[in-house]
Structure 1
Amino acid sequence: MTDPQTDDLEDAAAESDEAAEPDEAAEPDEAAERDAKPRVGRRLSLRFLGAACVALFIAAAAFAGAAAKPYLIDRAVVATKLDIARTAARAIHTLWNYTPENMDTLPDRASVYLSGDLESQYRKFIEAIADSNKQAQVTDTTEIVGAAVETLNGPEATVLIYTNTEARSELTKSVPQIKYLTYRLFMKRDQNRWVVTRMPTITSLDLTPRLPG
């Protein structure tokens, strides 16, 4: 014979045991949720890391560009000055190196380096001395011993050219006329080349040997 109270107690105990048992069906979902949280965190960390790397790269590139700009400007200025100095040296070398045989073509060869007014003045000068120099068999030799860009302002520049000049002729026989000359060349940029507009002499020393009288 079964005691009703005992049955009620057994039923209550069974219900209590069932309530105390963990819900095994819920465990996978909770575990998945716990696993998902680290994965989301890792993805966010990787995104932040990638963004930081991109920002660092852009900052490094900007710094490198800013640091390289003055260097490139300096290189361009140096290259321009070298071009001007070489052009000035070639101009003086062409103007003051001639022989009786090539004096007729000298104005045309020199015109490459001279501006309009200076070219006309130089042509007139050579034409004025050509006949006498041919008769005396004058040979003029000019050596460039130094060249320096004095100023550079956009399309204009001044250049100092230091020369040793030696002139020989039938009149002086074996004694050459020797001079140390310094020119200041005023130059300007004409399209893609530099030309001389003025060329005053700023130093002239006569170093001709003096024979005993």
Structure 2
Amino acid sequence: MPLGMGYTVEGQVSGKEEFGGIQIIVFEPKPGRFPEEPPKIAAATRGFPTEESDVVCCEFEEEFGGSEMGLAAGGKMKQKIYPDKYGVETWDENHFGRVYVHIVNSMMYEQITGKKAPSTPVTAKTYTQYGFPWFDLYDEHKGDVEQSNILSQVKSVKEMDNKKGFAPQQDDSGVEISDEQVKKLKLKSDVVRDGKW
């Protein structure tokens, strides 16, 4: 959702919409908690050392201005956050890295890629009609972090539309999915492996 309308999770939780996108923080482990191995260079950094990849992101941000967007609540899917099996005391809160994921609208998409944005996202109904697989992960043994009181108060896009007196933005009717279309996945040894489909 565009920032400034009060729909985003950020806006509903903090009372203001200033960042948008997603922010991810990764904490270093405290010394001696894990084997000392140099980190592998991730493909996402394009092989640049971290400092240089930061510069690339900053240049990108300045070059393509436009309508900023954030995440809003909505949709229905099963999701979990697994409890940290190492415990919070494992991580050094003073040493961390941060990643900003920017969400762009269709105009910015075209500016960035030079291509027209798809006319609309594929709906669950269309996806199902084409026979594409849905997935169900058996992970009951992993547990689930309890929902926070703060996030439980966040209203969905549909609820916000109703509150503001707007007509619904999309068709929220249910989709029937046959059992044959659902691929069952299981976790083995804490590794998700490719399925056969």
The structure richer in helix per residue is 1
User: Which one has a bigger Cα radius of gyration?
Assistant: 1
TM-score, normalization by structure 2: 0.20
